[in-house]
Structures are given as C-alpha cells and as structure tokens.
C-alpha cells in the first residue's frame, strides 16, 4: 500500500489524532486538547479549547526563530515597473504599524474591516494587521463595481474600510476612490472611516471621513498580537451563490491555520525558505490561502504579482517571475495558461528563463482541459497538478499530494480526495452511484479543519444552501463521478454559478441586473463554453409589450448595465433581445437546454417543455457565437 493510502487511512480511522498532530505545526497560546466539538452538529467546531494568533504564526514566530532577514513577501509589479521585497522582520513591523493604526481608529477584536484594494503589498499587510488584533477582514475583489461592494459592506457592517487611490488594470489606471465613495453612498451601513493608500499613478482627494494610510501608520504605536479562540472568525469572504446576494463564507482561525500549514508540505511541497508564486488575486480564496496565509505560515517566500499573465507587457512574465525568484511551486488558473498559450503557442518565451528551480505547477479554479494540461506538461516538463476546491473549503478537497506521494495523473481528473475529505457521489434520491456514473459530488460531515463553519450571520442559509439536500452531507454544487481507482472527475456546477476566467460569478445576479432595466419583461443568463475563459455569460431578454426600440440599442444598454452593477469582471458582452424564452409547463426557464444548444451539444428537448417552437426559434440565436454588443 502506498503512502497516500496510509495517510488517508489514518485521517479517516483516527481523524482527531490526525488533526491534533497536524495542529503541532502551529504555535498556540493555549494548545488544543480536543480536535473536534460535534455537540452542535451540523455546526462543527475544530480545536474548541485552543487559542492562538494567526498573524503571530505567519510572521512573528519566524522572526523569533531567526528567519527575520529572509524574504517573506515580494511585490512584483510590471504594471508600475516596481519591485519590493519585504523580509519577515520588515513585514512584521509594517503589519504591526498598520494594526496600531487600525486600533487607533477604534477597531477592536471581532470588528469587521472591508479591504477593497488592488494587488499591492498593503492589501496583505491590511489582512495580517486585522488578524494581529483579532479583527475580521473581508476582502472584496477590486473588479467588483460599487453595487457589489455595497452589498458586502451592508452584510459585514465594517467599522473601517481600507482602499487605495487607484489600481492598474493592464494599461488602464482605475480610480478606486470614486468607486468606494459610490459604494458607501449606496450602502445602508456607513463605515466610520476609510483608510486610503495613496498611489503615485493617481492620487485621491480625501474627505472628512478618510484617513491617509501613510499618516495613520505614523500616528499610533505598533500593535501586539492578540490571542483569540481558535473558533474566532479570521475573515469573511463573499462568494457567488445562486441569487444576487453573495454568501459570506466564514473562516475560523485555528482550523484554517492548521489545515493551510499542513497543506503546504503535504500538497504543495513548499517548506521554510522556499518560494511559492500564486498568480491570482487577494480578492479570491486562492489569494487568501496561497498568496497570503499558507506560504507565510510555513516560513516560505510568497510572490504578490500585480499584472496579468499576458499583455503586461508580454506572455513571458510568469516565466520571468519564476526564474527571478527561484520559484519552486507555481499556482494559477488554467485560463491564465490558455491566455499564455494563445499569445505564445510554442512557449518560446519560456526558453529565455532559467526554470530549473520550478518543480510543480498547480492549477485550480475551473476544470483543467486536457489540451492545456498537455501543453503545460510538455513545455515545463514538470508535474502539472489539477486540484479541486472552493471558496467554502479554503484549501483543496481533491489533489495529487506531491508532498506525500505523487500518483499517476489521469488528465481530466484532479486525482484523489485529500485526507479529511470523505467525498461521495450521490443520485438525486441520495443513494451512492456506482463508479464512473455521474451524480452530485458531496462530502460527508464533518468537514475537515479550514472549511467554512457557517455563513456570516446566517446559519439558516448555511444549512439551506449546503446541508439540506442530503442529510449528513455537504453539497459542493459540482457534479461528476469517481472512477474505479478512486479518481474524482469534476464535470461542472449544478447551480447558477459560472466560472469566467477563473472568477466565480452568479448568473442569478446578472439576471437581477438585466431585470432591473425598465424595458425588460423577463430574462435568462447562461454560461457558455469559451476557449479562453472556460465559460462566458450570455444574456437573453424579452422586452415588455409595446416597447418598439431598436434591439441593438437596448442590448448595448444591458451590457453596460451589468458592467456598472456587477463590474467589468462579469464579462457579459453578449445580450440578445428574443421573442420568447423556452419554458416548462410550470413556467421554469429551460436554461440547461439553452446552454446545451449554445455549446453545440446534441441537447434533448425535455418532455416538460411548454412550447417546443420557442426553442426552435431560439436555436439559431443560441448557436450564433461571438455576437458581442
């Protein structure tokens, strides 16, 4: 029996022992004596009697152990032409200074702080500063528009918001301050203060409730680490659900620290003094876990890259970064590799760089198509590892754990479940399906440390969204199968969530935006396959009776409406005015059928259809690809 089987078996036979042993990788103020408190099931709590500070574990303890001069975080920014390395000592001091500033603004343990920032080191500093004083951060991805930011401000009710004067998106400078001001105007909850990092590319005018980052850090003494209970929330990260209201995924402190620390060795094979480059954004879970927390928890060096895989200025930047900082493990989304491949199909730009230090490429965020897998494997000649996880889980569910034992890869599968994850596939009535048969992918409760304990202020929605479909199981929202060798194949979402360029978005929220247009009677947004972005949304609307405007004019307004409401990141570039939408006899729009036709599949027309001629009329519009407004 191989090592993977041994480790996995230990984790299932004696989970409490397994995780208490893993917990030894963390410095506790009060070490946990118990691993799991199941008394409140289905609400489980890990390490219920432990106390710790996550920032201390990410920074101070490495300085105390003699790593103070080692690089902790490198900001590499081709879009501003700057680079800056922070040693562990420097990062600890900057974090302590900002934490002192937050405390001066009245931020206390348990208070929320919303962080709306581009990929600058101060974003990570603000996150760690919150962790240092026991405040709960909620990072909002910079590509979201004011309306989305306002929804999150209202839900998290932050005392303070931290932002920057601007971000740089490719060649464009995007002023953040007006977006933040608009969001605060839209929100019912008003934060007391906004801290603004002034960037030289475009400074912001500050108002009465704004504080300049630079002034704040000099105005207060540095703050020490505040030990918190292991179950204290470290952060809230909003993610798309099926409705327009995002779900506030809660992350605890102790379970998360233990799981991330364990995953760095077992899954990513990165240890103290080694370098990890995660090409994502701090606004996503991948950024939270593998740009900020996990590399620092193990005393590694992390790269915070401000730029795109292509166009800033070329498709060789990922290779440059990997070579320049002697990256051992790289992690990004498949779409980034598809973008690089499109620009540089032969991978010629990689040849300019010494990639001999690169050992593994990890990909996640969307399905890894076999073509991209083969291209990356051939180009880099290192293991290319697909792994599957979600904002909710905080770390991978299924992966090829190269730090334990590398298993043979089956392209199209992220390999086997990691220790702690009891993955099953069920049919609609909750019965297990045979190997190879598709069904709903679920995880038997309890979930391992690091996974969400609940949704922010909404236990009911947590149960309704994840635990109510199948008693005793967490519903992942993905469908797929497990083969005879235990390999998991993730085929796609079963709900209205789509993945566009590795960004998780809700078609439901786009429909809400379209429906708010005064001329729209009803609408549907579906995710269709896209060669670069994996999926892109397409909208279909029926206009109210009596509206006789030019279709193209309304379509252009609708595209702009979604951009303004949700953000450019929604990538809704195609909206079509149609005569009718296909429905079942009970009035449900047949989105799955529409998606199948748009993707060119041999989509059966369901027997429940109300009027098949509506589908026939829509078929040529659905099949028409690339019709962008």
Q: Residue numbers of the site for ligand COA (CB under 6 A)?
A: 142-143, 167, 169-170, 174, 280-281, 284, 286, 308-310, 333, 335-336, 339, 365, 500-502, 533, 568-569, 571
Rounded to an integer, what distance in angstroms lies between the CA atom of residue 92 and that of residue 174? 29
Indicate the residue among 125 and 333 with the shorter CB distance to ligand AMP: 333
Rounded to an integer, what distance in angstroms lies between the CA atom of residue 576 and that of residue 250? 38
Q: Per DSSP, which regions of 335-421 are E strands?
A: 360-363, 384-386, 398-399, 416-417
Q: Is 527 in the site for ligand AMP (CB under 6 A)?
A: no
Q: Which stretch binds ligand AMP (CB under 6 A): 39-47, 87-95, 359-367, 564-572?
A: 359-367
Residue the block writes with tokens 């702690």 = 420
Cα-Cα-Cα-Cα dihedral of 117, 118, 124, 127, to 10°?
20
Question: How long, in residues, is the chain?
Answer: 629
Indicate the residue among 135 and 500 with the shorter CB distance to ligand AMP: 500
Q: Which stretch binds ligand AMP (CB under 6 A): 1-9, 88-96, 113-121, 470-478?
A: 470-478
Q: Which of 11, 231, 239, 275 binds ligand AMP (CB under 6 A)?
A: 239
Q: Which entry of ligand AMP, ligand COA, none binds 568, CB below 5 to 8 A by partner kind?
A: ligand COA
Q: Which entry of ligand AMP, ligand COA, none binds 50, CB below 5 to 8 A by partner kind?
A: none
Q: Is 122 in the site for ligand AMP (CB under 6 A)?
A: no
Q: Which entry of ligand AMP, ligand COA, none binds 386, CB below 5 to 8 A by partner kind?
A: ligand AMP
In the bound complex, what is the minimum distance in angstroms from residue 361's beta carbon to ligand COA? 13
Indicate the residue among 299 and 394 with the shorter CB distance to ligand AMP: 394
Rounded to an integer, what distance in angstroms lies between the CA atom of residue 210 and that of residue 540? 42
CA 555 centroid distance within chain: 30
Contact mark string toward ligand AMP, 58..77, x via CB under 6 A: --------------------
Rounded to an integer, what distance in angstroms lies between the CA atom of residue 466 and that of residue 215? 44
Q: Per DSSP, which regions of 49-205 are E strands?
A: 51-52, 71-77, 82-87, 112-116, 136-139, 160-164, 166-169, 172-175, 193-197
CB 352 within 8 A of CB 321: no
Rounded to an integer, what distance in angstroms lies between the CA atom of residue 37 and that of residue 395? 21
CA–CA distances in Å: residue 340 to residues 313, 462, 513: 12, 38, 32
Cα-Cα-Cα-Cα dihedral of 139, 140, 143, 144, to 10°?
180
Number of H helices, E strands in the chain: 20, 31
Measured CA angle at 344 (ends 339, 346), to 5 deg: 125
Contact mark string toward ligand AMP, 247..286, x via CB under 6 A: -------------------------------------xx-
3-state secondary structure of 346: coil
Output the residue with the shortest Cβ distance to ligand COA: 502
In the bound complex, what is the minimum distance in angstroms from residue 94's beta carbon to ligand AMP? 29
> Across the strands, what pairs with 277?
303, 330
Q: Which of 490, 510, 514, 554 binds ligand AMP (CB under 6 A)?
A: 490
Q: Per DSSP, which regions of 333-459 are E strands?
A: 360-363, 384-386, 398-399, 416-417, 423-426, 439-444
Q: Which entry of ligand COA, ligand AMP, none binds 453, CB below 5 to 8 A by partner kind?
A: none
Q: Which entry of ligand COA, ligand AMP, none binds 390, CB below 5 to 8 A by partner kind?
A: ligand AMP
Applying CB under 6 A, what is the total number of residues that bind ligand AMP?
22
Q: Which entry of ligand AMP, ligand COA, none binds 310, CB below 5 to 8 A by partner kind?
A: ligand COA
What is the β-pairing status of strands 488-493 and 534-543?
unpaired
3-state secondary structure of 299: coil
Q: Which stretch binds ligand AMP (CB under 6 A): 158-166, 445-453, 476-484, 523-531?
A: 476-484
In the bound complex, what is the minimum distance in angstroms from residue 334's beta carbon to ligand AMP? 8
Rounded to an integer, what distance in angstroms lies between the CA atom of residue 224 and that of residue 228? 13
Rounded to an integer, what distance in angstroms lies between the CA atom of residue 454 and that of residue 248? 9
Q: Is 395 in the site for ligand AMP (CB under 6 A)?
A: no
Q: Which entry of ligand AMP, ligand COA, none binds 142, CB below 5 to 8 A by partner kind?
A: ligand COA
CA–CA distances in Å: residue 508 to residues 149, 195, 571: 17, 32, 14
CB 167 within 8 A of CB 180: no
3-state secondary structure of 123: helix
Indicate the residue among 359 and 387 with the shorter CB distance to ligand COA: 387
From 350, 322, 366, select the one nearest 491 (Cα to Cα). 366
Measured CA angle at 418 (ends 382, 460), to 5 deg: 130
Indicate the residue among 177 and 504 with the shorter CB distance to ligand AMP: 504
Contact mark string toward ligand AMP, 580..599, x via CB under 6 A: --------------------
Measured CA angle at 296 (ends 294, 300), to 5 deg: 100
Q: Which of 364, 379, 528, 541 binds ligand AMP (CB under 6 A)?
A: 364
3-state secondary structure of 166: strand
Q: Is 390 in the site for ligand AMP (CB under 6 A)?
A: yes
In the bound complex, what is the minimum distance in angstroms from residue 240's beta carbon to ligand AMP? 8
Q: How many CA atoms, within 13 angstroms, populate the side-chain half-sphere of residue 95?
A: 29
Q: Is 143 in the site for ligand AMP (CB under 6 A)?
A: no
In the bound complex, what is the minimum distance in angstroms from residue 410's beta carbon to ligand AMP? 13
Q: Which of 45, 328, 493, 583 binds ligand AMP (CB under 6 A)?
A: 493
**What token pair was written down for 428?**
């609609």
Indicate the residue among 390 and 400 with the shorter CB distance to ligand AMP: 390
Contact mark string toward ligand AMP, 281..320, x via CB under 6 A: ---xx-----------------------------------
Q: Which entry of ligand COA, ligand AMP, none binds 167, CB below 5 to 8 A by partner kind?
A: ligand COA
From 245, 250, 306, 249, select the one nearest 277 (Cα to Cα). 306
In the bound complex, what is the minimum distance in angstroms from residue 621's beta carbon to ligand AMP? 27
In the bound complex, what is the minimum distance in angstroms from residue 502's beta carbon to ligand COA? 3
Rounded to an integer, what distance in angstroms lies between the CA atom of residue 476 and that of residue 425? 10
Indicate the residue among 398 and 514 with the shorter CB distance to ligand AMP: 398
Q: Is 416 in the site for ligand AMP (CB under 6 A)?
A: no
Q: Which entry of ligand COA, ligand AMP, none binds 526, CB below 5 to 8 A by partner kind?
A: none
Give the binding site for ligand AMP (CB under 6 A): 239, 284-285, 364-368, 386-391, 414, 476-478, 490, 493, 499, 504
């Amino acid at each position: 029996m191989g090592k993977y089987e041994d480790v996995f078996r230990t984790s299932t036979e004696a989970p409490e022992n397994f995780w208490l042993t893993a917990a030894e990788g963390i410095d506790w103020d009060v070490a946990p004596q118990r691993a799991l408190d199941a008394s409140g099931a289905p609400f489980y709590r890990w390490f219920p009697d432990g106390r710790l500070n996550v920032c201390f574990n990410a920074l101070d303890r490495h300085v105390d152990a003699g790593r103070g001069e080692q690089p902790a975080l490198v900001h590499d920014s081709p879009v501003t032409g700057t680079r800056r390395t922070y040693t562990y000592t420097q990062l600890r001091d900057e974090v302590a200074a900002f934490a002192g500033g937050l405390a001066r603004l009245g931020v206390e343990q348990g208070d929320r702080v919303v962080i709306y920032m581009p990929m600058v080191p101060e974003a990570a500093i603000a996150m760690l500063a919150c962790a240092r004083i026991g405040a709960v951060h909620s990072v909002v991805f910079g590509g979201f528009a004011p309306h989305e930011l306002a929804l999150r401000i209202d839900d998290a009710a932050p005392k303070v918001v931290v932002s920057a004067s601007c971000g740089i998106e490719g060649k464009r400078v995007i002023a953040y301050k007006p977006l933040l001001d608009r969001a605060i105007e839209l929100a019912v909850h008003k934060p007391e203060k906004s801290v603004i990092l002034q960037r030289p590319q475009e400074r912001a005018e500050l108002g009465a409730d704004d504080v300049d980052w630079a002034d704040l850090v000099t105005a207060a003494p540095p703050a020490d680490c505040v030990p918190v209970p292991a179950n204290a929330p470290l952060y809230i990260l909003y993610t798309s659900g099926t409705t327009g209201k995002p779900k506030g995924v809660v992350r605890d402190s102790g379970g998360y620290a233990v799981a991330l620390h364990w995953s760095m060795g077992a899954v990513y094979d990165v240890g103290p003094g080694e370098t990890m480059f995660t090409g994502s954004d701090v606004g996503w879970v991948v950024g939270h876990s593998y740009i900020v927390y996990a590399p620092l928890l193990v005393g590694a060096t992390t790269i915070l890259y401000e730029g795109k895989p292509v166009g800033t200025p070329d498709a060789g930047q990922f290779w440059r970064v990997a070579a320049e900082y002697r990256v051992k493990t790289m992690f990004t989304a498949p779409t980034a590799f598809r973008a690089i491949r499109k620009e540089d199909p032969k991978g010629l730009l990689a040849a300019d760089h010494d990639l001999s230090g690169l050992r593994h490429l990890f990909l996640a965020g969307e399905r890894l198509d076999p073509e991209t897998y083969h291209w990356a494997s051939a180009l880099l000649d290192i293991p290319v590892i697909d792994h599957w996880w979600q904002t909710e889980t905080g770390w991978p569910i299924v992966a090829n754990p190269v730090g334990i034992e590398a298993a043979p890869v089956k392209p199209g599968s992220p390999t086997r479940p990691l220790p702690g994850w009891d993955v099953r596939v069920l049919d609609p009535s909750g019965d297990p399906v045979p190997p190879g048969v598709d069904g709903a992918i679920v995880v038997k409760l309890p979930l391992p440390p690091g996974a969400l304990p609940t949704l922010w202020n909404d236990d009911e929605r947590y149960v309704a969204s994840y635990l109510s479909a199948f008693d005793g199981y967490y519903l992942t929202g993905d469908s797929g199968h497990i083969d005879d060798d235990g390999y998991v194949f993730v085929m796609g979402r079963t709900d209205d969530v789509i993945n566009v360029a590795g960004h998780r978005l809700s078609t439901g929220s786009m429909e809400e935006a379209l429906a708010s247009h005064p001329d729209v009677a009803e609408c549907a947004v579906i995710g269709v396959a896209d060669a670069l972005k994996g999926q892109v949304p397409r909208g279909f609307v029926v206009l109210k009776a009596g509206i006789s405007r030019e279709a193209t004019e309304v379509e252009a307004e609708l595209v702009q409406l979604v951009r303004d409401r949700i953000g450019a990141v929604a990538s809704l570039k195609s909206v079509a005015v149609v005569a009718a939408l296909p429905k079942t006899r009970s009035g449900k729009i047949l989105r799955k059928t529409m998606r199948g036709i748009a993707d060119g599949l041999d989509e059966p027309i369901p027997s429940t259809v109300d009027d098949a001629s509506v589908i026939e009329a829509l078929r040529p519009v659905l099949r028409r690809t690339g019709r962008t407004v």
